[in-house]
Amino acid sequence: MNSDFLEKNGVINYISGKEMSFRTQKEGNKVKSYAQDIIKKLKINPYEIYSCRQMHTDNICYASGENGDDYFYGKYFDNTDALITDKKNIGLLIKFADCTPVVLYDKSKKVLSIIHSGWRGTSKKIVEKTLIKMEKDFSCQRESIIGFIGPTIDQENYEVGEEVYDAFKSFKNRDRFFKYRNEKFYLSLISANLDLLTEQGLIRENIKISQKSTFLTESLHSARRDKENYGLNSMFVMMKK
């Protein structure tokens, strides 16, 4: 599947589900063929593909086409959960099961980022920090940035502990994206990430939200639903030339 919203705004994109799994612990070198399949489907020839060893951090790396460590299907950064590039021939790929893929793109400056934001990354405000880095390092302007919040677990199926609620204590709108029911907390990663973007000045009309729940959509991997046998979805993005 892909996002028509991103495509119309100049971002080639693809979201893989159960037809592939990017969980290298189980798939090993197969992930190389999966990445190649995405490239073939999109009929593109990127100079390089970047991914990262996602550790639920707020670390952000710039993909130049020359930096990074060698990986199965391109280059990668260790201990990283967001990628930024200003190169049109560089592909960016992140993996997710129930966490949230977020894409930011400055249509004027031609700067693209993709972010892996689970509850830890969201509580650390990785989306906000990526936005700030785009401004600081590339002179991006918020009024020309579009955002896409991809498939993630729906709130009704995302029960979390009180420690997760506590991790969001710095959010002034915290109770907008938590429900408390039967002495249990339920988190909306969509609402939390949307709050981060709009609080930082992104225009709401410039943000598109996927209606797909990883938990409820059988064609997508879900860690909560599939438990120890879960696989990893991927989201690939690259600027159009």
Cross-strand pairs, 14:
236
Each residue of 111-122: pLDDT tens digit? 999 999 999 999
Q: Can you give the C-alpha Rg of the chain in angstroms?
A: 17
Q: How confident is the model at residue 73, as a pLDDT?
A: 86
**Domain total of the chain:** 1
Q: How confident is the model at residue 91, as a pLDDT?
A: 97
> What are the respective helix, strand and coil percentages of the chain, to the nearest 5?
30, 30, 40
Q: How confident is the model at residue 50, as a pLDDT?
A: 97
Lowest mean pLDDT among 63-67, 101-105, 175-179, 209-213: 63-67
Mode of pairing for the β-strands spanning 48-52 and 100-106: unpaired
Label residue 16 left, alpha or beta by phi (over 0 means left) and psi (-120 to 50 means alpha).
Answer: beta
Name the DSSP class of 152: B
User: In terms of residue numbers, what domain contains 14?
Assistant: 4-239
Q: Strand, coil or helix: what is 120? A: helix
Residue 114, domain CATH: 3.60.140.10
Q: How confident is the model at residue 241, as a pLDDT?
A: 78
Average pLDDT of span 158-179: 97
Q: Which two tokens stand for residue 196?
A: 């981060």
Average pLDDT of span 158-185: 97
Q: Which two tokens stand for residue 23?
A: 């969980």
Residue 3 has pLDDT above 90, yes or no: yes
Span between the terminal Cα atoms of the chain, in Å: 21
Q: Which two tokens stand for residue 144?
A: 């020309």
